[in-house]
Structure 1
Amino acid sequence: MDTLIRYEISILNDQKLSQSEIAYKVGANKSTISRELKRNSDGRSGEYRAKLAQKKCTLRHSVKNKKKTFTATIQEFIERYLKVIEEAFYSHRKEAVYTAGFVANIVYDGIRADKEIESLQNYLELEQLRFHNAFDFSIHATENVEFNVGLPTLLIQPFVENAILHGIVPKEENGHIEVQFDQQNGKLICTITDDGIGLSESKTRKENSVTAHKSMALDITKKRLEIMEATILQSAEIEMEELNENNQTGTKVTLKLPIQYV
């Protein structure tokens, strides 16, 4: 058995999970888990136990450091949007409602899929006003999606923002953004598709501009997903694809997240 899997089994066993639950999380059968736990209880060498304890300590320390990094990064978002709330309540009610909900979601570990859709709807409507209807949009969820399925807060919106700022806005004509949620093979799948200028052209324009905005969305999201993976021992993926067919450019971002309920 792979050493990493043994570490995972040991950690999950420390968390008082049943053998069935451990088998499901590591993708092994129950009899294999039972044998491994028995071998551990029958007694390993002192050297093995020391190495195992050291590995657990290192993993926990790594997760703790990544959480601190994320907390420091997100603090800037919180402070900025709290200021926006104060200003928005004296201007447009719709902006205030969206911003208040946006910041409220930061406080919690996750947001339900239906609430995320509502938040994205409000955000895209505001951006339509901001850019004078330079684009239209659609948000869909397939019938497979359970609406009590959760996803991390502040995960989807930055990619939608990138689609607007770096894909749609630089176009000469109006554009379209599509956000879709699906649930397949134990994953919540979110795709953000735009018919903007595409990744290559966007990169070229940024390199030629001294005032280009540097997006941190991908770096922040990768760090957050690393924390998620280390915490729940399940993988998450991000895929970015440039679209170019029949002279139609664009970008498609796909996030595949482990199923969690909130």
Structure 2
Amino acid sequence: MKTGPIWQALVDRLDQMQEAGQRADFWLRDDDAIEPTAALHRLLDLTDRFSVPLTLAVIPAHTDARLERCLAGRRDISIAVHGWSHENHAPPGEKRQELGGHRPGGTVSEELRAGYARLKALFPASFVPLLVPPWNRIDTDIAAGLGGIGFRALSVFGPEASGKAAALLRPGLQIINTHVDVIDWHGTRGCRDHVQIVRDILTRVEQVAKGGGTVGILTHHLVHDENVWVFLSKLFETTATHPACRWRNVSDLIGR
């Protein structure tokens, strides 16, 4: 397999882990799914080609049976709850947030309860009790009530060992984060530089090798440019068959 220096660095690190009897668990989370689109079909076909399990964070208020029919019969697809309507309720000047303290807690909890029930009914075979907050932000008081709704896990962005993640941790609630984002949200809003993305993956792999955990890759199929598709194809080609790398279904990670 021909590869550039940065990709070879990833292969070399995985080779070292294999020799040491270690493995890195990767998982893929894609946000903002609503309906079948050309981009979604491309993502589904790509992950299927490399046998990479896919977690789709679906917006409950805006989805319907069309997405269910699109995913019917596909293997290794998990459906997570992506808030309720992905609507910003923060005032101007604050970071966007749907699941914040800007509304009565009971209102937010009822929306999450409705979203949980809706997706569980639409996708009975692939639904997982995982909440993915829009914009990766959730108020700690809202997080405290997730277990009562039925959620067993929460996924935001960043190391699980960080103070931010620790503040969200509650008995019976597992934190399963993503750690590497492929999109340059504050610049081009296209794909980040491939070298920088792989460096971030290598950094996370080192953290996993030392302290456990997973390597969570975050994508947003609706905004992918061609460079994102090229990157994902190369990532899967490099890792999917490597003995020191396992792409995991998030349902296997919940309760682990």
Name the TM tier (shorter chain): under 0.3
Higher Cα radius of gyration: 1
* Higher helix proportion (structure 1 or 2): 1
Q: Return the TM-score normalized by structure 2.
A: 0.24
Q: Return the TM-score normalized by structure 1.
A: 0.24
